[in-house]
Amino acid sequence: MQIVKDNGPITGEHIADRLKLTRATLRPDLAILTMAGYLDARPRVGYFYTGKTGAQLLTENLNKIYVREYQSMPVVVNESISVYDAIVTVFLEDVGTLYVVDEHSHLVGVLSRKDLLRASIGKQELSALPVNIIMTRMPNITYCEKDDLLIEVAKKLIDKQIDSMPVVKSTDQGLEVTGRITKTNITKAFVALVEGEL
């Protein structure tokens, strides 16, 4: 990078000469630096230094990650099921949040672990209490779409102090739940970014 910084644009051949290496030995390293955005290459001109810092490159890459690449399967329940059955579903499906839909499969509510715990410390009969009494309901649900940027979703999760949000497809009749984004999905994207798997 120093050689390119001082002498760019410079051909791969000339960089190799200075390092007393063959062009073939150097090729993978130059490819990595170019892919990572530190260097740029122009045919017949050579390599030059882009001047971008690690933080700038990280931002550029973050702005290329979309919900559709990291979303997972939503776990959806009907609004008429009982709190008892919702708790069983949380264990069976191994998720923290359930999305509640009406008879037309449109999003009507969200049930978090704490919502279910809160209902459980009351004196109600849990198998007779429908989830639509205790859920967070529309229009107070924060949701996203598959073509949204993951970083925007991450900001919303922090801002609203929630663990997840449904990914929806908007139709004339209502919102269809097609996926979910949780803090785990965002952590996975964060790790992939550092490991250069994007």
Binding site for ligand ADP (CB under 6 A): 97, 110, 112-115, 136, 140-142, 161-165
User: Which residues lie below 8 Å from residue 164, measured CB to CB, with a gap of 6+?
Assistant: 96, 97, 157, 180, 181, 182, 183
Cβ atoms < 10 Å from Cβ of 174: 15
The minimum distance between CB 119 and ligand ADP, in angstroms, equals: 11
The minimum distance between CB 22 and ligand ADP, in angstroms, equals: 56
Residue 147 CA to residue 140 CA, distance in Å, equals: 21
Give the residue with the Cβ less far from ligand ADP, 71 or 164. 164
Give the residue with the Cβ less far from ligand ADP, 120 or 142. 142
Give the residue with the Cβ less far from ligand ADP, 98 or 189. 98
Asked if 13 and 22 count as a contact pair (C-beta separation under 8 A), the reply is no
Of all residues in this chain, which one has the CB nearest to ligand ADP in the complex? 114
The minimum distance between CB 77 and ligand ADP, in angstroms, equals: 13
The minimum distance between CB 4 and ligand ADP, in angstroms, equals: 47
Which residue in 41, 58, 39 sits closest to 198, CA to CA?
58
Give the residue with the Cβ less far from ligand ADP, 36 or 138. 138
What are the two backbone dihedrals, phi and then psi, of residue 99, each rounded to the nearest 5 degrees?
-105, 135
